[in-house]
Structure formats: structure tokens, C-alpha cells
């Protein structure tokens, strides 16, 4: 550990904006992708339910 | 059900209905490994690796910049491989894998460019310079965007897969250009890399932190691609009987 304390750590030797700007945006970008992945799965599952329900209705109509 | 009777596992798992549950079981493992490797890497990067003599603390951007840059190129090659396989053998899952990798590859390219700009400013005095390494990496981002835009523009998925595969294969020539750009041309990028290598005492802990984060990014990308390919399988096979049973 080469830091004098937490304020020393967050200051990053005067490069705080560059270092935390890099790490912060990377974290945000990864969080955004995880959110988009979950949303895409939820939408895909909803589309499956809609399609399968429609197919079941079509089958009922054609057999009755 | 043509895969039945072939007796080869390889074929069995190339079918979307067998790959879908397998991918579902693999995701938590890759996600867990990604988190573990990243936390270890960040700990080494911030609390074990010492200050770099010439760049001070600004060099700590390397721990995410280099892994993201590696993944941006590696994902493109893997994406082109799956796209080519889909083009040559008309295998559905291969094309879906290529589509699943493109957004994550674009994200890694963006991270590499963003962190590179924020690293370039304190070390080179500029956020951006039109040199070979930076320009070819920007072209990589545009290739990913082109792949995604082309896919979105063509409604017929089979046609979209073929068009995207051709684009991916033409674009793969850019990857060795990025990789060797610092050797083939005199770029600003090379100078900074060499100054890090000339501090051999720091290299061990620095490379350990970078290696851990590279493994973490790699595992994350696998987890993200597997998650996305499951959604793509559902989108494309939503009419199939097996989909009703697993959802």
C-alpha cells in the first residue's frame, strides 16, 4: 500500500479526473450493458409468450 | 432433429435447443469468475502496484485500458470466425454467436478509446492524435457499428447473417493492422508503452494486476455474449415447441 490515506488515494497524485474518469465511465458502460442484456431477455420472453399464445389460438380456431 | 443419430456431441451442442440450457448453466460461472478476477486485479492495481516513476498515478489507467483493447480485437476475430462458419455451413447458432458478440465488442472498443484518451492527455498532452494505432482502433469501432447497423437494416435474418458475415470477414484485416501498427509505423502510442517496459521492477505487480483484469474482462465478455445469444435464440425460435417448454 503506497497511499498516505483515503484522501491521498482519491486524489491519485493529481490525476484523479483522468483515473476516475476512466474507471467510472468503464463501470457505467458495463452497468449499461448488463441493463440492456436484461431488458432484451425480458422482451424476448414477452415476445415468446405472445407468439405462443397466438399460435395456440390459431390452432383452436382451425380445429374447432 | 437431424442431429440425432450423428452421435457427435459437437453437433448436438450446435443446435440452439441444446445450447440454450447449456449457456444458461454456464453464465453464473463466467459472471462469478469475472467479478472475482476484476476485484483481485483492482486490488493489485491500486494497492499493491507502486507508483510509476515517470507517469505518476496516471499510469493506473493501464489496468483497464489494455484488457479492453485486447478484448476489442479478440472479440472481433472470434465474431468473424463464427460469422464465417455460419456463412460456410449455414449453421444457425454460429451466426447468432456472431451477432451476440458484436455489441460487447463495440463496448470494449469504446472503453479502450475512452480510457486511452484520458490516459493520453496527462502523458502525451493530447486526448487524441490521428496516428496509426488510434485511428485503426477507431475504425474497429466503426466496423462494429457497421455490423450492428447492417443487421438492423435487413429484416430477413438469413440475409442479414450473410451480409454481416461478409462485412465481418472484410473487416478482420483491420485487426492485424491495429496490433502491428506500433511496429509498422512510428506512432505516439509506442513511446508510452516502452517507458512502462523500461521499469522492470514494477513490471511484476503491474502485469499481475493487468493480467487479472484481462482475465476478468474475458470472463465478463463470455458471460455477456452467452446471455445475449440466449435472447437471440428466443427471438429467432419463438415459434418452436421447445421454446414453449423452457420459458
Report whether pLDDT(A51) > 60. yes
Residue A27 belongs to some domain of the structure = yes
Chain B interface mutation, best of A4, A48, A54, A56, highest count of B Cβ atoms under 10 Å: A48
Residues A7-41: tens digit of each pLDDT: 999 999 999 999 999 999 999 999 999 999 999 99
Nearest to B145 by CA among B226, B236, B76: B76
Å between A26 CA and nearest CA of chain B: 6
Q: Which domain holds residue A57?
A: 18-63
Residue A5 belongs to some domain of the structure = no
Residue A40 belongs to some domain of the structure = yes
The domain total for chain A is 1
Residue B51 belongs to some domain of the structure = yes
Lowest mean pLDDT among B1-5, B11-15, B20-24, B206-210: B1-5
Contacts of B51 in chain A (CB under 8 A): 2, 13
Residue B4 belongs to some domain of the structure = no
Any idea how long chain A is? 64
The residues in A 16-45 lying below 8 A from B, measured between CB atoms, are: 17-19, 21-23, 25-26, 29-30, 33-34, 36-37, 40-41, 43-45
Residue A37 belongs to some domain of the structure = yes
Q: Which domain holds residue B60?
A: 20-246
> Does any CB of chain B come closer than 8 Å to the CB of residue A2?
yes
Categorize the per-residue pLDDT at A1 as very low, low, confident or very high, splitting at 50, 70 and 90: low
Neighbours of A1 (CB within 10 A): 8
Residue B13 belongs to some domain of the structure = no
The domain total for chain B is 1
Residue A48 belongs to some domain of the structure = yes
Type and span of the H or E element at B103? helix B92-124
Residues B169-191: tens digit of each pLDDT: 999 999 999 988 887 887 777 54
Residue B7 belongs to some domain of the structure = no
Judged by phi (left if over 0) then psi (alpha if -120 to 50, else beta), residue B90 lies in left
Contact: A33, B68; criterion CB under 8 Å: no
Residue A52 belongs to some domain of the structure = yes
Residue A13 belongs to some domain of the structure = no
Contact: A41, B230; criterion CB under 8 Å: yes
Residue A38 belongs to some domain of the structure = yes
Residue B203 belongs to some domain of the structure = yes
Å between B244 CA and nearest CA of chain A: 7
Which ipTM score applies to this complex? Answer: 0.92
Report whether pLDDT(B192) > 50. no
Residue B194 belongs to some domain of the structure = yes
Question: What letter does residue B52 receive in the DSSP assignment?
Answer: B
Separation between Cα atoms, residue B186 and residue B72, nearest integer Å: 22
The stretch B113-135 carries a mean pLDDT of: 94
Amino acid at each position: 500500500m503506497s497511499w498516505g490515506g483515503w484522501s491521498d488515494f482519491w486524489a491519485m497524485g493529481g490525476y484523479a479526473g483522468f483515473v476516475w474518469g476512466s474507471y467510472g465511465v468503464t463501470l457505467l458502460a458495463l452497468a449499461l450493458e448488463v441493463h440492456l442484456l436484461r431488458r432484451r431477455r425480458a422482451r424476448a420472453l414477452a415476445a415468446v409468450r405472445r407468439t405462443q399464445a397466438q399460435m395456440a389460438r390459431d390452432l383452436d380456431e382451425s380445429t374447432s | 432433429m437431424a442431429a440425432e443419430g450423428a452421435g457427435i456431441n459437437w453437433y448436438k451442442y450446435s443446435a440452439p435447443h441444446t445450447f440454450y440450457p447449456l449457456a444458461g448453466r454456464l453464465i453464473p460461472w463466467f459472471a462469478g469468475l469475472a467479478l472475482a478476477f476484476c476485484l483481485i486485479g483492482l486490488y493489485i492495481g491500486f494497492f499493491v502496484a507502486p507508483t510509476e516513476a515517470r507517469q505518476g498515478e496516471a499510469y493506473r489507467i493501464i489496468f483497464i485500458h489494455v484488457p479492453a483493447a485486447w478484448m476489442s480485437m479478440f472479440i472481433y476475430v472470434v465474431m468473424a470466425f463464427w460469422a464465417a462458419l455460419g456463412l460456410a455451413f449455414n449453421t444457425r447458432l454460429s451466426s447468432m454467436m456472431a451477432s451476440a458478440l458484436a455489441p460487447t465488442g463495440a463496448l470494449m472498443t469504446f472503453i479502450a478509446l475512452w480510457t486511452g484518451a484520458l490516459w493520453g492527455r496527462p502523458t502525451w498532452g493530447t486526448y487524441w492524435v490521428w496516428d496509426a494505432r488510434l485511428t485503426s482502433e477507431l475504425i474497429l469501432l466503426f466496423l462494429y457499428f457497421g455490423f450492428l447497423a447492417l443487421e438492423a437494416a435487413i429484416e430477413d435474418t438469413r440475409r442479414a447473417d450473410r451480409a454481416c458475415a461478409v462485412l465481418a470477414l472484410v473487416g478482420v484485416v483491420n485487426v492485424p493492422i491495429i496490433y502491428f501498427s506500433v511496429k509498422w509505423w512510428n506512432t505516439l502510442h509506442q513511446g508510452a508503452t516502452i517507458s512502462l517496459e523500461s521499469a522492470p521492477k514494477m513490471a511484476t505487480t503491474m502485469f499481475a494486476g493487468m493480467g487479472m483484469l484481462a482475465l476478468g474482462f474475458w470472463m465478463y465478455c463470455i458471460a455477456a455474449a452467452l446471455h445475449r445469444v440466449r435472447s437471440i435464440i428466443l427471438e429467432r425460435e419463438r415459434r418452436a415447441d421447445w421454446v414453449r417448454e423452457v420459458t
